[in-house]
Amino acid sequence: MSQGEGAIGTYKKWDFDEEMELEKQERRKVPKGVLSILASSPERAVTLLYVLLAFTFVLFMALTIVNLQRVSAAWEALEQARMWSENSHTTAWYNLSEVQHTLDKHLSGELKAIHGRLLNEERDALEPVLRQLAEVKQEQSRASALLDAALEEMRNLSEIFCTRCPAGWEQFAKSCYFFSSTTKPWQAANDSCANFNAHLAIVNTEQENKFLANHVMETRIFWLGLTDMHNEGNWQWVDGRSLSLSYVFSLIGGFWNSGEPNNVGHHGEDCGSIYSSGGWNDVTCSSDEAWICERSC
Convert the pLDDT of each residue in 216-269 to its tens digit: 988 889 999 999 999 998 999 999 999 877 767 766 567 899 888 998 888 889
Provide the angle, in degrees to the nearest 10, between the axes of the packed helices 32-40 and 42-160. 100
**Are 255 and 235 contacting, i.e. CB atoms less than 8 angstroms apart?**
no
Residue 255 CB: number of other CB atoms within 10 A?
A: 24
Give 41's DSSP letter.
-
With a cut of 80, say whether residue 24 has pLDDT above it: no
Mean pLDDT lowest among 167-176, 199-208, 245-254 = 245-254
Residue 193, classed as helix, strand or coil, is helix
Residues whose CB falls within 8 Å of the CB of residue 39, separated by 6 or more in sequence, listed in order: none
Chain centroid to Cα 187, Å, comes to 50
Q: Are strands 170-172 and 175-179 parallel, antiparallel or unpaired?
A: antiparallel
Model confidence band, residue 19 (pLDDT cutoffs 50, 70, 90): low
* Banded pLDDT at 114 (limits 50, 70, 90): confident
- Torsion, CA 101, CA 106, CA 112, CA 118, rounded to 10: -130
State residue 172's pLDDT score.
94
The stretch 271-282 carries a mean pLDDT of 94
Reported as type and span, the H/E element at residue 272 is strand 271-274
Decide if 258 contacts 277 (C-beta within 8 A). no
The pLDDT score that the predictor gives to residue 30 is 45
170-296 folds as Mannose-Binding Protein A; Chain A (3.10.100)
Query: Is residue 155 within 8 Å of residue 256, measured between CB atoms?
Result: no
The CA-based angle 202-205-207, given to 5 degrees, is 110
Share of the chain above pLDDT 90, in %: 32
- CB burial of 157-195 (b: ≥16 within 10 Å; e: otherwise) equals eeeeeeeebeeebeebeebbbbbbeebbbbeebbebbee
Q: How many CA atoms lie within 13 A of 18 on its CB side?
A: 6
Rounded distance, CA 251 to CA 257, Å? 13
Hey, which of 15-24, 158-167, 185-194, 247-256 has the most confident mean pLDDT? 185-194
The answer on pLDDT for 73 being more than 60 is yes
SS3 257: coil
Closest CA to 292 of 270, 271, 269, 273: 273
Which CB contacts under 8 angstroms, 24+ apart, belong to 51-60?
Answer: none
